[in-house]
Chain A
């Protein structure tokens, strides 16, 4: 493709104004949409000050949120870190909504604004719109309206019932927030027609197999038909979404309390995809901005100086400290995502023998953008790493795997970057991103309906790692308060079904009133 070179660079120096932002956007847009063929929600770019960025930070990045002290806590921490210079603020914030809202900080230089537009307005935006996890779980059109509703509703509750009772419900709900997520695709509401059709089908089946003879078969005194199973089915158990369970069946909750649980749960659900796609999301955005910025520079839209500024900031973003550098705090999602995606580009364009063996379907395909877009749409972190972490990258990053077995006195280096180790390392790293492993598997399994209404919750223990005891006790207390009766949490070895430990909590009677 022959492309006209820029008549003059977009800007020189670091100052920007609204006209320049417009020009930048108009220059970036054709590269992103026509050349890279990204598919995005319409963009809305909002310029905010550093103060406002701090505000946005402390309400999980959302422009409006209900009031709660924990956001204040977040705020004072961020504020202090920022003031002491321990942490800079993010250059941008982007909200998965339709239209996609991008916050740009006024303190950014013109180069940074270009970078941020490429990163957020095109990279993240494309990812939000196309990735299957987001498509499945989040409702980009409705989120801002919903937050508005939530904010208003909670403020009304505070007016009507007082700040303290509302705060208590929110505290309890926040403690269970991670257990307020449906992990499997939502059940579509059944419509009446389908219901009727199924009922008719069942009736027809009964008619067909009807035989009067059965009536004559003597029956003994029958025991109650499997009461526990029936009960559990009626309650929809086992249920891993504890907040959902409480909202629907909590015997002592007022309707406004149920609504608050629902609000917290729906917001948790909205953020659920983000937790599963951290590396991919950031990787996609970083890869996009890298391509766009390079293209802009090649065509003369960016001065060499601006490009150097970009490179310096880009390098910081994708820096991965090694395990012994003292700064190591896990894998940097930007670095991991960008690393794998750049490697995929290399595999598509200049594959080695090894790549052809490992990635036969994409090696040498010649069109990295198509391959990447397919990946961005159809993978999440776990599957992405387990499919596309290449031996080349494992060697480049010198990855190794450590095994810490219960009972052993020493750690063992289980795999390094060699022929024997590639697959093991890849599998192991992928498992670190598996959401089911990051978080404990906790389910409501039963309620003692005929007795004291005790709620039974089970943690299925993987690899012998139990719950953090102090926190578990506190959360359990909150759960008991919401449920209104005793709650029992059993920790059960997932394979052997052996019970390792159990905690229980009695509700605090003063709590609900």
Chain B
């Protein structure tokens, strides 16, 4: 590998040195299936333009036999939601013995579970809003009214209710009055058995992408922060996936200290959770310029309205080039393990 490609994955202009045929996994059975399919189509096209042979597959009972019978050079898991981001599918890919792009299963398990991720990054010194995670059964066994009163007393209003595990803001609700809380809890438990009830931090919402080639000589780098300004004030599902419904500012219009703090926070999160290749941290910068961690994404969306492509573009990088470079690194890393 030449020096330039080792340091700039977007510089790859042809098929990577090791990976020629890539299987893009998209779809699945999670609530984010549609988002995943859109991500898969976009990345698949970007890789084909780079000269790679791309096979986009859904995930079902035929996947393992297909990967076993005809192993690709690399797998690119772009499944969002439970099976795609909780590490389970990546465990299977490791069992099959095929290289893949993205974080290892153990890191995914930490990152996908929001309460766990918050605890891990907090120990690393990252500021994250006060929160409580409770399963539905707790409310049933102890009485919902009393537990909700305690939540309101501890967290205060406004607060956010979100599924402990899930993405795309599905099942999330901002609660501004006490009588909104029961409905928000019920809506949340439609998506997951555990709810995270978190203090709502008023401020500038930003997403920071970390690009990490797993190269010893080059530490993880952050891409320009993307500032999110949804028309309705809340970055919900419609605001995320309706083109035009949200204004993005890249790089985010933050002062230098806050911008630097966001970058440091995102890298700290990436390292603390043990993430690999590509991650996105969702942060809020409050009026005092303090940075708050909300959640990390191990398989961030790359649809036409997603945040990572915006950050790549602002950094002067090409999506296909970056992903092709990561494919290259994954194959190389896998071979080095085998060789060892």
A and B are interacting partners: no
> Which residues of B pack against A, CB within 8 Å?
none
